[in-house]
Amino acid sequence: MSNILIIKHGSLGDIAQASGAIQDIYENNKQNNLYIMTTKPYIDLFKKNPFIKDVILDKRLSRFNLIYLYLLMREVKKFQFIKVFDLQNSSRTAFYKKILFPNSNFNSWSSSETTLPLKTNKQEFDKLSVLERFDHQLKTSGLNTKHTLKPNLSWSCTDIHEINSKFALNKYILLFPFCSPHLKLKKWPYFNELIEIICKEFKDEYKIIIAPGPSEIQEARNINAECILDNGKSLNISQLASLIKNSSFVVSNDTGPAHISAHLGVKGIALFGSHTSAYKVNIEREKFKAIQVSDLNNLSARKVFEKINL
Query: Do 176 and 70 fall into the same domain?
Result: no
Query: Do 42 and 135 fall into the same domain?
Result: yes
pLDDT of residue 123: 85
Query: Do 35 and 173 fall into the same domain?
Result: no
Query: Do 144 and 251 fall into the same domain?
Result: no
Domain count, the chain: 2
Query: Do 78 and 121 fall into the same domain?
Result: yes
Mean pLDDT by 10 residues, the chain (310 residues): 96 95 98 97 96 97 94 96 96 94 90 90 89 96 97 96 96 94 86 97 95 95 97 97 98 96 97 90 96 96 96
The answer to whether residue 289 sits within a structural domain is yes
Q: Residue 281's domain spans which residues?
A: 163-305
CB neighbours (10 Å) of residue 246? 17
Q: Final residue of a domain: which of 117, 150, 183?
A: 150
Which residue, among 284, 89, 111, 38, has the nearest Cα to 270 in the 3D structure?
284
pLDDT of residue 182: 74
Query: Do 96 and 182 fall into the same domain?
Result: no
Query: Do 145 and 20 fall into the same domain?
Result: yes
CB neighbours (10 Å) of residue 4? 21
Partners of residue 176 on adjacent β-strands? 252
pLDDT of residue 104: 86
Query: Do 242 and 291 fall into the same domain?
Result: yes
Burial class (CB in 10 A: 0-12, 13-18, 19+), 293: middle
The answer to whether residue 158 sits within a structural domain is no
Query: Do 74 and 185 fall into the same domain?
Result: no
The answer to whether residue 69 sits within a structural domain is yes
SS3 271: strand
CB neighbours (10 Å) of residue 253? 22
The answer to whether residue 156 sits within a structural domain is no
The answer to whether residue 66 sits within a structural domain is yes
pLDDT of residue 260: 97
**CATH number, domain containing residue 205:** 3.40.50.2000
The answer to whether residue 48 sits within a structural domain is yes
Query: Do 137 and 7 fall into the same domain?
Result: yes
